[in-house]
Amino acid sequence: MNSDMRNRQARLLGLCFLALLQACWASQVWSQRAEPRVTIAVLDFALNLTIANADEAGQDERPVTMAMQHLRTQVGRHDAYVLVETHLDTAALTEWPCTSDTCAAQAGKGLSVQRVIRGQVTKVSALIWFVSARLIDVQTAKPIRAETLQFRGNMAEVIPRLMTILWRRLNESE
């Protein structure tokens, strides 16, 4: 009987220990979820063709669209942010697409977000492009971080990796 009692005590102690571990884990998960997430929007990127002296803007819109889509995907995957979709009503409030931090902050206020990313895709030549982006604090209209990356080659292959790198760099200071 003495060994039975010890076995019961050991099982009870083990169950108490497991319950304590589970409570600690749940508390940690709850505290992580309780932290407020930053609201953010990725504004439409501008297209700059002046360096390449290109007039056919319609043909070159593809890298801009691809860059924005991939960047929005990267931002949306980040746990610290709530990605807010932009909408056409914001265009009426500002120059569109935004080419200044003040415009981006105004658009961010219209979207009720804390941060915005504005960017530009620049065609340098038939094969060389630059993608630049700025993470803007909406309240102060000041840039938190700015990055520019160059790419060359097949856009469909390069842009997904490029946007992953760009987002990592923009998010470093956060």
Supply the CATH classification number for the domain 37-171. Answer: 3.40.50.10610
Contact 85, 92 (CB under 8 A): no
Contact present, 44 and 96 (Cβ < 8 Å): yes
Residue 135 confidence (pLDDT) above 60: yes
pLDDT at 39: 95
| Residue 43, both tokens | 């504004």
List pLDDT tens digits, range 77-88: 988 999 998 865
Give the per-residue pLDDT at 50: 75
Find out whether 160 and 174 touch, Cβ atoms under 8 Å: no
* Radius of gyration over every alpha carbon of the chain, rounded to an integer in angstroms: 24
Instruction: State the average pLDDT for the chain.
Output: 79
Instruction: Enumerate the domain spans of the chain.
Output: 1-35, 37-171
Q: Is the pLDDT of residue 114 over 70?
A: yes
Which of the two residues, 74 and 13, has the higher pLDDT score? Answer: 74
The Cα 50–Cα 166 span in angstroms is 23
pLDDT computed for residue 145 by the predictor = 95
Beta strands in the chain (DSSP E): 38-42, 46-48, 81-83, 115-123, 128-137, 142-152
